[in-house]
Amino acid sequence: MVTPEEIRQLALLAKLEISEEEIEPLARQMEKIIAFADTINSADVGDTGFDTINGLENVFRADEVLPSLPQEEILKNAESTADGCFVVRKRGAAR
Amino acid sequence: MISTLHQKLVEKELSCVELTNLYLEAAQRDNAALNAYVTLTPDTALAAARATDERLARGESLGLLDGIPMTLKDNISTKGIETTCSSRMLQGYRPIYDAAVWEALQAQGSVLLGKTNMDEFAMGSSSETSVFGGSKNPHSLGHVAGGSSGGAASAVAGHLAAFGLGSDTGGSIRQPASFCGIVGLKPTYGAVSRYGLIAYASSLDQIGPLTFTVEDAAAVFDAISGRDERDSTCSGAKEATLPGLKRDIRGLRIGVAKEYFEGIKGDVRTAMEKAMETYRALGAQIEEFSLPSLRYALPVYYILACAEASSNLGRYDGIRYGYKTSSSYESIHEMVCKTRSEGFGKEVKRRILLGTYVLSSGYYDAYYKKAQNLRGKIVEEMRAAFASYDILLAPTVPMTSFPLNFTGQDPVETYLTDICTVPVNIAGLPGISLPCGFDSQNLPIGLQLIGAPFAEAKLLNAAYAYEQAADMYRPAPFGVQFEGGARA
């Protein structure tokens, strides 16, 4: 059972705003998806874990300083910047 | 197809600028019907085409992909060219660096025609979760191109590009290739660098080609695979696939896991049986066996993919790049919530919520951890199969293309259609879809072949042999049509 209260809590954790009209249908859909996910609970599997695909190992590079992206490039896609930094305002007016 | 175009360029039947203009004009004309492209890049394309023509004029020998018009899915970063993931969240976003695969293709001289449509953040099976609307199937405009790389499949099958790159997290290259009657290769996890691929589920995502022929897929795979220090999971392909592509396949051992065929009926089943007959006639041995854990593959996939997505998509906060809310807010938390709620579509939000659910305290052990344990078991079973078989054979999708607006009504019903494609991603194996017939509505059916890790050479060799023997390609009535067809 997925309750509207759970949806509200999940939305808070996921930083999503869900309107009151959306909550009820979403709870029903989530319930159906969770029921589908629950089919794995009939599987008999030990705590084998899973930590590698195809026995892959991390590919490391030498620990050398390489050029990084220029600051002005990094800031290019931001809505607001000042003095080479991203601006994060505590409050905002409607635009 | 690629070698035909290559020949035309080398023999100066037409210049690369002329070839590129043919494709750009076709794309401008037919995109209204197919909605395959979300961005066309004529300036980039023509600059690359002119460079190819200059190399030709200087008498330089041309690589196979030099001057070939192609596309990139819109989740592959292109410096200075809008890359949206077909989401409102990234509309207007221009990456400041190129993805490794795009670097590799630029080094080869390939011509980028544009960026292709997709399900939003690659989450969907019809490309209809795109903020730009779905891509249509060139074989029937009343049907979808599939997803999530639907635009790539529609562009290639509709002759609006010679090849495209897509990404495959749970079938997103193979399924649209199957629906559109073309070839789609999902390489081994770790064979192709994902540097610059906008992440959906990092333990499953892989970039690969959508092409007309198996030979084209081999050529593109060889060009984009290889070690990359910027992707720590990328160890590179072990061997080139083109040299051994046309080997005789007599004695090839093909395993058919019966779990893949549960519920497969009608035209798709008949096409599978015919494909097996073709393989027998080619001298392959076919044996049925069982992969019992496969029945858990789909829920395992959705639990893990959504968990990873909820974490990967946490980065969209309206501060550094992408959409930012234009409503008023009283706190940073409120700004981020409004930004994400307005920027993400329904399916993306649903998957973020599901991922958050399976990772939250109290549910983590029952879902996420259990799914990881089961993933270990599926990996073990599938890898063990390659002690007895060279390749596995299965349908790509249990059905042919969906009518428009069919998906999205019931999320679980839609998820179930991914049943045959997700195991390959779970186990990190290479898989290919290739045309193996048409149903009674003349919609293409896809045959899926699966290989052992880093055994792309053997996989493509097996696919090539079938393709040549079966000859299942039919051209769709769009785009640039050459004499002799796209398969020449």
Beta carbons within 10 angstroms of residue B247's beta carbon: 14
Is residue B382 within 8 Å of residue B243, measured between CB atoms? no
Tokens of B251: 């004695």
The residue among B26 and A60 whose pLDDT is bigger is: B26
Strands (DSSP E) contained in B310-443 are 391-395, 431-438
What is the total count of domains within chain A? 1
Residues 6+ apart with CB under 8 A from B461: B241, B244, B245, B246, B247, B249
Chain A to chain B Cβ contacts (< 8 Å): 169
Asked, for residue A31, whether it belongs to a domain, the answer is: yes
Phi/psi at B143 (5° precision): -125, 160
State whether B232 and B314 are in the same domain. no
Phi/psi at B385 (5° precision): -60, -30
Residues of A in contact with B330 (CB under 8 A): 91
Tokens of B12: 């100066």
Q: Would you give the distance in Å from CA B370 to the centre of its chain?
A: 28
Average pLDDT score over residue span B410-427: 92
pLDDT of the residue at A53 = 66
pLDDT of the residue at A58 = 72
State whether B254 and B333 are in the same domain. no
State whether B78 and B191 are in the same domain. yes
Asked, for residue A29, whether it belongs to a domain, the answer is: yes
pLDDT tens per residue, range A22-40: 999 999 999 999 999 999 9
pLDDT of the residue at B414 = 85
Sign of CA dihedral B225, B227, B229, B235: positive
List, as one string, the DSSP characters of B263-276: T--HHHHHHHHHHH
State whether B225 and B100 are in the same domain. yes
State whether B194 and B48 are in the same domain. yes
State whether B144 and B10 are in the same domain. yes
DSSP 8-state code for residue B398: S
The strand pairing partners of B285, in sequence order, are B253
The radius of gyration of chain B's CA atoms, rounded to the nearest angstrom, is 21
List, as one string, the DSSP characters of B57-79: HTTPPPPTTTT-EEEEETTB-BT
State whether B308 and B273 are in the same domain. no
Tokens of B204: 């499953």
State whether B317 and B271 are in the same domain. no
Is residue B249 within 8 Å of residue B466, measured between CB atoms? no
pLDDT tens per residue, range B119-158: 999 999 999 999 999 999 999 999 999 999 999 999 999 9
State whether B314 and B272 are in the same domain. no
Confidence band for A52, pLDDT divided at 50, 70 and 90? low
Share of chain B above pLDDT 90, in %: 93
Which structural domain range is residue B184 located in?
2-291+394-470
List, as one string, the DSSP characters of B25-36: HHHHHHHHHH--
Catalytic residues of B: 73, 148, 172
Asked, for residue A77, whether it belongs to a domain, the answer is: no
pLDDT tens per residue, range B256-299: 999 999 989 999 999 999 999 999 999 999 999 999 999 999 99
State whether B71 and B209 are in the same domain. yes
Is residue B117 within 8 Å of residue B86, measured between CB atoms? yes
State whether B352 and B409 are in the same domain. no
pLDDT of the residue at B239 = 86
Asked if omega into B328 is within 30° of 0 (cis), the reply is no
Query: In which region does residue B147 sit, left (phi positive, over 0), alpha (psi from -120 to 50) or beta (all else)?
Result: beta
Widest distance between CA atoms in chain A: 58
B443: pLDDT strictly greater than 90: yes
List, as one string, the DSSP characters of B300-311: HHHHHHHHHHHH
Asked, for residue A15, whether it belongs to a domain, the answer is: yes
Asked, for residue B475, whether it belongs to a domain, the answer is: no
Asked, for residue B92, whether it belongs to a domain, the answer is: yes
B488: pLDDT strictly greater than 60: no
Share of chain B above pLDDT 70, in %: 99
Residue A9 maps to which CATH number?
1.10.20.60
pLDDT of the residue at A51 = 63
Interface of B with A in 178-237 (CB under 8 A): 188-190, 203, 227-229, 231-235
Asked, for residue A10, whether it belongs to a domain, the answer is: yes
Q: What is the ipTM of this complex?
A: 0.93
Tokens of A11: 């939305």
Q: Give the nearest chain A residue to B353 (CA atoms).
A: A10
The alpha carbon of residue A53 is apart from the nearest alpha carbon of chain B, in Å, by: 6
Is residue B17 within 8 Å of residue B50, measured between CB atoms? yes
Query: What's the CA gap between B461 and B477, in Å, rounded?
Result: 29
Query: What's the CA gap between B147 and B158, in Å, rounded?
Result: 16
Asked, for residue A95, whether it belongs to a domain, the answer is: no
Query: What's the CA gap between B272 and B398, in Å, rounded?
Result: 11
Residues of A in contact with B415 (CB under 8 A): 33, 36
pLDDT tens per residue, range B225-260: 999 989 989 987 778 999 999 999 999 999 999 999
The residue among B406 and A54 whose pLDDT is bigger is: B406
Which structural domain range is residue A20 located in?
4-42
Query: What's the CA gap between B334 and B313, in Å, rounded?
Result: 17
Query: What's the CA gap between B392 and A73, in Å, rounded?
Result: 47
pLDDT tens per residue, range B346-358: 999 999 999 999 9
Query: What's the CA gap between B280 and B39, in Å, rounded?
Result: 45
Query: What's the CA gap between B124 and B114, in Å, rounded?
Result: 21
A54: pLDDT strictly greater than 80: no
When scoring B206, B341, B364 by the number of chain A Cβ atoms within 10 A, the one with the most, hence best to mutate, is B341
Residue B423 maps to which CATH number?
3.90.1300.10
Asked, for residue A63, whether it belongs to a domain, the answer is: no
Confidence band for B13, pLDDT divided at 50, 70 and 90? very high
Tokens of A27: 């709870």
Answer yes or no: do B350 and A30 touch at CB < 8 A. Answer: yes
Query: What's the CA gap between B176 and B478, in Å, rounded?
Result: 17
DSSP alpha helix (H) spans, chain A: 4-13, 20-37, 71-74
Asked, for residue B68, whether it belongs to a domain, the answer is: yes
Answer yes or no: do B428 and A54 touch at CB < 8 A. Answer: yes
What is the total count of domains within chain B? 2
Is residue B458 within 8 Å of residue B390, measured between CB atoms? yes
Asked, for residue A38, whether it belongs to a domain, the answer is: yes
Asked, for residue B51, whether it belongs to a domain, the answer is: yes
DSSP 8-state code for residue B315: G
